[in-house]
Amino acid sequence: MSESNRSKDAIGVEAREAQAVAAGDHAGHEAHAHGAGAACCGHDHDHARAPADARAAAAPGRAIQWTRRDPARQAELALAAAPEHADACCSSDAHSREHDHAHAGHDDAGHDHAAHGSHGHAVDDHAGHDHSNHDHAGHGRAAHNHADHDHDHDHDHDHDHAANSHNHGADCCAPAALTLAPLPGTERLADGQERSAFRIMQMDCPTEETLIRKKLGGMASVATLEFNLMQRMLTVVHTPGAADSVAAAIRTLGMTPELAGAANAKAGGAIAEPAKPVWPLVAAGVAALASEAVTWAGLPTWAAALLALASVAVCGLTTYRKGWIAIRNGNLNINALMSIAVTGAMLIGQWPEAAMVMVLFTIAELIEAKSLDRARNAIQGLMRLAPDTATVRQPDGSWASVAAAEVALGAIVRVRPGERIGLDGELVEGRSSVNQAPITGESLPIEKAPGDAVFAGTINESGSFDYRVTAVASNTTLARIIHAVEEAQGAKAPTQRFVDRFARVYTPIVFAIALLVAVVPPLLLGGSWHDWVYRALVLLVIACPCALVISTPVTIVSGLAAAARRGILVKGGVYLEEGRKLGWLALDKTGTLTHGKPVRTDVEALADDLEPQRIAFMAASLASRSDHPVSQAIATAALAERGSAGAPFAEVEGFEALPGRGVRGSIDGAAYWLGNQRLAVELGRASAALDERVAALESKGRTVVMLIDATRVLGLFAVADTVKQTSREAIEQLHALGIRTAMLTGDNAHTAAAIAREVGIDDARGNQLPEDKLAAVVELSGQGRAVGMVGDGINDAPALARADIGFAMGAMGTDTAIETADVALMDDDLRKIPAFVRLSRATHRVLVQNIGFALVVKAVFLGLTVAGLGTMWMAVFADAGASLIVVGNGLRLLRASR
């Protein structure tokens, strides 16, 4: 079975041994309650325990939880941090400024907080810390002046914290235990850890991911990391209170992390970086061209060198800074390689070429970033579907425009003709037709009347109406779709994982080859040092597999966004890739192939001592408690017949659904069953005469259910459904794609065969219990081809879980379908499944094209460089050009979706 996208590319960091904290328990301790009248020194503690060996699956604030293959998390427990030590306070005279020590990586046993107050510790492993004569790495030197304890900040940070040398004044009373809430953007998990989501605007591609992964991977407070490069989001599971230390570690890499809540509040959800001025790049380009012109004119070399240095300084300092950070952290990314190559070119006197290569690289990076933003923001179109405001009825009866995010549940909202609907709701007054194409892809407007559901992002075509809000802005169907697609973007598809593994090997190998090319020929073959070092520098330029590593995520994200635009919600790249492999598609009948709105056609009373109306009444009473379409047809018909005469239904006690069979319950103290022929056989109520009557009705393509009491069958009820025209078209398209179809229905075999003949199904199986449907999917999987399952009921759950891809129909407004299916179709049009398969095959073709093209370009330039035919600027053009081509090729999937 295909690998699930619920298990993200999260890495687990080995949990370190929990160590005894001799001076008190500091886990999660961020603030102290001090006795009245004592002014505390204002230092912060961030002493988080080492993480437990646990993982969490979903990103914070997500409305969607993948519940089918990753069971739902347990209810999160409220945790309280209770400091057991008394802090010493210092008088306000003694401390004129707040003082914050960053104690990098030290231990804490014997760390006497009563003696020296609170320090903000950036890293959270404190067992065994001795403040007597230790080094505070990174300790800020300029900002604290303490009357009672001297810190000489002009020395090399050797602070002598001997016992009682750190006197902050009178001791405070022991603080009360505090319950610490996580920071905004951080949530507390059931296992006691916390999960924080950071938006990092500088995190554009796997280059930054590798740096962050290496930096945070060694921190004791970090348990798992999840990267969503397309949304520039990093989700970290960490020990309580460690969010600040995680952010501090990221900042050492030259990046600016913001907790997701704060970032969204500032940026309004935008994920594009602010525009940078172009003039420095233009000036650098002019200086590089001038350096080239000076060289051609035979003017002094120093003039060319000065112009080249000016060019590199103007446009290349960012690259050098990133390159130095990468080298310092033991990473050879494109910035490090380019920095080495340009520096090497200048050292061997290739001044004009060094400047031009840096300018071209900067231009290529800029264009590539713009192209990636197109893919990154592909889903932003969905976000813009819902208006920012809604017209809400006020308590005094007036109407006012209110921000959609502030509209409460139950509020009444008015929509005028041509307006977009701002939130999900239920229509309470007026009628109209609504264009749901932005969400479902349906081409025709849907008529809406009081009681009908309306959805955020859809368009009111004609009349004005009022609706009652049933979901706040953050939990509408549209919002859940957006969250699901963003979650899917962060999940790495199989091809992407392969490319990432290849890239981790490729760069070191090419770097080693470059070293050999620079050294071996001059030493062993008598070659020119200048020529072979230059060739090695060219190899460095093409050593970073940028085109290769960005080709897959851009293509997958474009495919996911294209599917969402068509009303197909795909839960991850793994399913987008697997869709092309489908060989069998198993389908439920009711509501999938048929309209799911059957009507009662026949009633046969078999009990001579009971009136037919009484039999119909008891059957309808049981049926009204079930949500199965067949039961609903029986209940609706009985309700229409009775009209306003008497109670609509009898009171049913002990009601119970019997999956694959029917229902049971008690009426007036007597037990009754309403179900199919299988139920009658199990209860021992079947007979030859009964079988003959049932067969006669089923031969007409009708579904038969029977009312049974403790001794006999009281009556038969026949129900018929109609086949959707779109089902016939969908089956034809699936067959044209080489996919065989099977219908698995709980209905009788006669009806199953009749529907199969009408639609063109290859294999029809009736009387299917949940375990039978599961067995059928296992059997089809045994034929060596991927199997998809389409369904939405309890009966379908085991088969959906076992299938390689589970499809849910009509997911708009249905939480369960969106949560549990691998692919959710936002309406009931079965033709979306062949559309999904075609998109999956198109995505695979683009992936193969991109990966093949990137590898061929690299191979060609490796050969040209070793042969002495490649130059540095050609290598930059090749690398940047390949990156732009694969990005553009991936974006074709978005254009195809329009």
Which strands, in side-by-side order, build the sheet including 805-808?
568-570, 823-825, 805-808, 786-790, 582-587, 740-744, 763-765
Residue of 625, 589, 588 whose CA lies nearest to 721: 589
What residues form DSSP beta bridges with 765? 744
Structure tokens at 250: 């990221």
Which residue is catalytic, options 588, 747, 804, 827? Answer: 588
- Which residues are CB-contacts of 71 (< 8 A; sequence separation ≥ 6)? none
Helix (H, G, I), strand (E, B), or coil: what is residue 886?
A: helix
For residue 205, give the amino acid letter.
C
User: Residue 16: what are its φ and ψ, rounded to 5°?
Assistant: -75, 160
Question: For 643-737, where are the alpha helices, taking DSSP H only?
Answer: 677-682, 688-698, 725-736
Angle between helix 529-541 and helix 334-347 axes, rounded to 10 deg: 160
For residue 705, give the amino acid letter.
V
Query: Beta strand 568-570 with 713-720: parallel, antiparallel or unpaired?
Result: unpaired
Please give the angle made by the CA atoms of 261, 266 and 268, to the nearest 5 degrees.
Answer: 85
Extended strands (E) in 204-262: 222-228, 233-238, 257-259
Check if the beta carbon of residue 515 is closer than 8 Å to that of residue 466.
Answer: no
For residue 146, give the amino acid letter.
H
What is the C-alpha to C-alpha distance for residues 879 and 550, in angstroms, rounded to an integer? 12
Residue of 50, 152, 31, 160 whose CA lies nearest to 105: 50
Query: Beta strand 805-808 with 465-469: parallel, antiparallel or unpaired?
Result: unpaired
Residue of 40, 68, 263, 281 whose CA lies nearest to 172: 40
* Backbone conformation region of residue 686, classed left if phi is above 0, alpha if psi is from -120 to 50, else beta: beta
Residue of 702, 673, 678, 672 whose CA lies nearest to 690: 678
Active site residue 588: yes
Maximum distance among all alpha carbons in the chain? 118
Element containing residue 393 per DSSP (H, E): strand 389-393
Structure tokens at 282: 């233009």
Structure tokens at 704: 């038969």
Helix (H, G, I), strand (E, B), or coil: what is residue 474?
A: helix
For residue 448, give the amino acid letter.
K
Q: What distance lies between CA 359 and its chain's CA centroid?
A: 36
SS (HEC) of 578-637: HHHHEEEEEECCCCCCECCCCEEEEEEECCCCCCHHHHHHHHHHHHCCCCCHHHHHHHHH
What is the C-alpha to C-alpha distance for residues 540 and 536, in angstroms, rounded to an integer? 6
Encode burial over 870-889: b for 16+ CB neighbours within 10 A, e otherwise. Answer: bbbbbbbbbbbebbbbbbeb
Structure tokens at 734: 């699936």
Burial of 360: CB neighbours in 10 Å, binned 0-12, 13-18, 19+: buried
Cα distances (angstroms) measured from residue 752 to each of 628, 731, 744, 831: 17, 15, 8, 21
Check if the beta carbon of residue 770 is closer than 8 Å to that of residue 659.
Answer: yes
What is the C-alpha to C-alpha distance for residues 156 and 133, in angstroms, rounded to an integer? 12
Element containing residue 413 per DSSP (H, E): strand 412-415
Q: Which active-site residues does the annotation give?
A: 588
